[in-house]
């Protein structure tokens, strides 16, 4: 039962994803909650998901949650925030930057930064455990800034670089906490942002759109990609049999001193399987949201205009009716033979339909490059600081930083 003003938000203290699981078990495939005073229709019915995310995306479910312009600040013109025709225009303008041809141009840039990452790791004493996100995040940031803005900040080797330092502060600021994304409410005044960008909105609108996309690219590259990489390395380290299979595939495709090529990398089945399975088990987007633009009826459920509809992907990914042993890390479920049997509406790590993540292929490419380079040179293992099983806080972040050991393979070979 919702509380006055808070709605069902207080139930998120044990994790909004756990709350979603409890509601799904209690109410079935469709139920309602309140984020503060905002009503939300939660949907796990696959036919309804198909309509919401794909069939009626353009006509009815085009937009995401309404975000206050002052709260969004520099994000207010971002592709993930703008609506309807503006979104279509920005999306069509950005799409050419994520074609296969463009990715092949970016590929050597990403490889260069991955090589820097490896050299930096080789300088470290391999005995102490490593907080994984702290070492992979600079790689993600460097690739994004180099490929998007032609700026080589080299945060891999210069952790105190002003740009990298400010980005970290920027992302830690409460404005970008998932809490704000969930609540959609402003608890502080952002008059500074509103005043600062008012001039751009009125007279240099295109400039602010560019600024907003830049913030989105940095956020996705630095935060989302590094989090996905961290979860992947954790899942591999805690499942050594899967890790061994991946290392075998890497050694087969890229023997020692063999350069990584784009085409060969894209053909690595087990690597793709492991990434998909990790994103299923620990998704960076445990919910997807769309706003209903007009009153419609889906499967006997009337959805009023302006209702926020949410798809709790974490619930779908852990549903034993949809997945065999859903709590286990099994990359084989995404093998070429098995993947065709997976309903496309139960697995959507980058969203689904016309408004899916525009940077999906870019993110997958830079993750694959780093994983291959890393496992060519290091063995990844758990240590006493590794939390097993992994515990997540209310906002789906590890309660304890994921910590692993990276042992040079040359040392392992001598043992």
Annotated binding residues, written as ranges, equal: 357
Q: How far apart are CA 407 and CA 128, in angstroms?
A: 10
Q: Reduce the DSSP state of residue 5 to 3 states and report it.
A: coil
Q: How far apart are CA 159 and CA 165, in angstroms?
A: 7
The two three-digit tokens of residue 188, written as one number: 């502080």
- Evaluate the omega torsion of the peptide bond into residue 389 and state whether it is cis, within 30 degrees of 0: yes
Which residues have C-beta within 8 Å of that of residue 201, sequence separation ≥ 6?
Answer: 76, 208
Q: How far apart are CA 63 and CA 58, in angstroms?
A: 9
b/e 374-386 (16+ beta carbons within 10 angstroms → b): bbbbbbbbbeeeb
- Running DSSP on this structure, what letter comes out for residue 82? -
C-alpha torsion angle, residues 251, 252, 254, 260 (rounded to 10): -120
Q: How far apart are CA 16 and CA 14, in angstroms?
A: 7
The two three-digit tokens of residue 403, written as one number: 């910590």
Could you list the residues known to form a binding site for heme, using ranges.
357
- Running DSSP on this structure, what letter comes out for residue 29? S
CA pseudo-torsion sign 353, 359, 365, 366 = negative
CB 281 within 8 A of CB 329: yes
401: closest CA among 167, 166, 226?
A: 226
113: closest CA among 150, 132, 141, 149?
A: 141
94: closest CA among 213, 205, 211, 219?
A: 213
């Amino acid at each position: 039962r919702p509380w006055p003003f808070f709605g069902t938000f207080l139930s998120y203290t044990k994790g909004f994803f756990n709350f979603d699981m409890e509601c799904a078990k209690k109410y079935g495939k469709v139920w309602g909650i309140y984020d503060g005073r905002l009503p939300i229709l939660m949907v796990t019915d696959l036919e309804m998901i198909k309509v919401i995310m794909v069939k009626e995306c353009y006509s009815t479910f085009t937009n995401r949650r309404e975000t206050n312009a002052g709260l969004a600040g520099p994000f207010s013109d971002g592709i993930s925030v703008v609506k309807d025709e503006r979104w279509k225009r920005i999306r069509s303008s950005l799409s050419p930057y994520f074609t296969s041809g463009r990715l092949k141009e970016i590929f050597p840039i990403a490889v260069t930064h991955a090589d820097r990452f490896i050299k930096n790791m080789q300088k470290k004493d391999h005995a102490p455990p490593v907080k994984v996100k702290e070492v992979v995040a600079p790689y993600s940031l460097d690739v994004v800034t180099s490929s998007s803005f032609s700026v080589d900040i080299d945060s891999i080797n210069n952790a105190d670089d002003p740009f990298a330092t400010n980005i970290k502060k920027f992302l830690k600021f409460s404005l970008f906490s998932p809490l704000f994304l969930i609540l959609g409410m402003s608890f502080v005044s952002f008059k500074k942002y509103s005043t600062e960008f008012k001039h751009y909105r009125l007279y240099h609108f295109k400039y602010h759109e560019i600024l907003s996309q830049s913030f989105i690219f940095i956020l996705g590259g630095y935060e989302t990609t590094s989090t996905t990489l961290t979860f992947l390395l954790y899942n591999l380290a805690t499942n050594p049999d899967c890790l061994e299979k991946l290392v075998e595939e890497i050694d087969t495709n890229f023997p020692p001193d063999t350069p990584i090529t784009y085409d060969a990398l894209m053909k690595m089945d087990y690597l793709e399987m492991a990434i998909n399975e990790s994103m299923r088990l620990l998704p960076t987007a445990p919910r997807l949201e769309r706003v209903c633009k007009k009153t419609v009826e889906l499967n006997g459920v009337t959805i009023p205009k302006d209702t926020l509809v949410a798809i709790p992907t974490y619930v779908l990914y852990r549903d034993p009716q949809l997945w065999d042993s859903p709590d286990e890390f099994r990359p084989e479920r995404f093998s070429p033979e098995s993947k065709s049997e997976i309903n496309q509406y139960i697995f959507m790590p980058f969203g689904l339909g016309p408004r899916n993540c525009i940077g999906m292929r870019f993110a997958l490419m830079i993750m694959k490059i780093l994983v291959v380079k890393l496992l060519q040179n290091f063995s990844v293992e758990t240590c006493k600081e590794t939390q097993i099983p992994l515990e997540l806080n209310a906002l789906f972040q590890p309660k304890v930083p994921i910590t692993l050991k990276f042992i040079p393979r040359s040392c392992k070979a001598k043992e």
